[in-house]
Amino acid sequence: MTDPMTDTASGQVPRPGQRFVFIGGLHRSGTTPLARTLAGHPQVSGFHDTGAMEDEGQYLQSVYPTAAARTRSGPGRFALSPAAHITENSPLADPANRERLIADWSRYWDMDREFLVEKSPANLVMTRFLQKLFPEARFIVIMRHPAIVTLSTKKWAPRTRLSTLFENWFRAHDLLRQDAARVEHLHLLTYESLVTSPERTLDGVREFLGLSGPIPAGAVRDRSGGYRERWLELAEATDPFGRRRFRRLCERFEDRANAYGYSLRDIDRVPPAGLLPRPAS
């Protein structure tokens, strides 16, 4: 078996000045359209046509277990496992593994581009680990309404309770809040701002990264409508069981949603543009 650290054909060495960009966010939060949109900029290279699920970098490397492998769970539950959270204290956070990751991922990047993007949902809870390996990296996290994420993830995990899916959302983002104070270059945005004000939102990304010229916004589409209607149906349920379930979800999670600028009782309330709070320790 060829060692990617010694096989120069398997990957390329990044040039001085090249910058790594890691995109994270829960499943169904918009990481894929964000990564594809960003890769449309002429200075940026992202993964495409790799054969991996959603072109996620976690499947294209040999250093760390994927989120599903290390937590033995999938979308909607993985963040509830202690194994999901990886920091600079991991034994995998060593210089040799940086080189191995570069060798693995450079097979899929255009190494003539200045910005090299890797996207995986679990990067949301791996920022400190990745920063240890790539101190110069930039991190972009996209956040979407917890009710919308919960309902859209439910189809992937039909046996998982709504309350568990909500807990996963809050656990993942609470971990980010804890980690953010230790992450030097972190940019947060919401799915809602990306689809309602794409030019302004992407201009914030452009400024954060230091790109020359605008990021094309043509691929951005809002796909929340059906899930919004389903949540409203749950909120307006006429049967006692449905009303009780909605009330209990609100009693349990409304305050936590408010802390992120969202509301379960008002599905249309989202963090105001430009006022998205930076996660705190």
The answer to whether residue 127 sits within a structural domain is yes
Q: In this structure, what token pair is assigned to residue 42?
A: 């002429």
Instruction: Please say if the pLDDT value at position 38 is more than 60.
Output: yes
- pTM score of the predicted model: 0.92
The answer to whether residue 50 sits within a structural domain is yes
The answer to whether residue 72 sits within a structural domain is yes
Whole-number Å distance between alpha carbons of 136 and 164: 36
**For the ranges 56-70, 186-200, 243-257, 267-281, which has the lowest average pLDDT?**
267-281
What is the average pLDDT across 30-46?
A: 96
Instruction: Please say if the pLDDT value at position 101 is more than 80.
Output: yes
What is the residue range of 209's domain?
Answer: 13-219
What is the average pLDDT across 63-91?
A: 95
Q: From residue 119, give the alpha-carbon distance in Å to each of 54, 220, 267.
A: 9, 17, 28
**For the ranges 63-77, 208-222, 257-271, which has the lowest average pLDDT?**
208-222
The answer to whether residue 179 sits within a structural domain is yes
Cα angle 241, 246, 252 (rounded to 5 degrees) comes to: 125
Whole-number Å distance between alpha carbons of 136 and 17: 10
Q: From residue 179, give the alpha-carbon distance in Å to each of 41, 91, 174, 199.
A: 29, 18, 9, 29
pLDDT in tens, 136-163: 999 999 999 999 999 999 988 889 999 9
Total of domains in the chain: 1
Q: Are 59 and 53 in contact (CB under 8 A)?
A: yes
The answer to whether residue 172 sits within a structural domain is yes
The answer to whether residue 192 sits within a structural domain is yes
Q: How confident is the model at residue 14 (pLDDT cuts 50, 70, 90)?
A: confident
What is the domain-level CATH number for residue 184?
A: 3.40.50.300
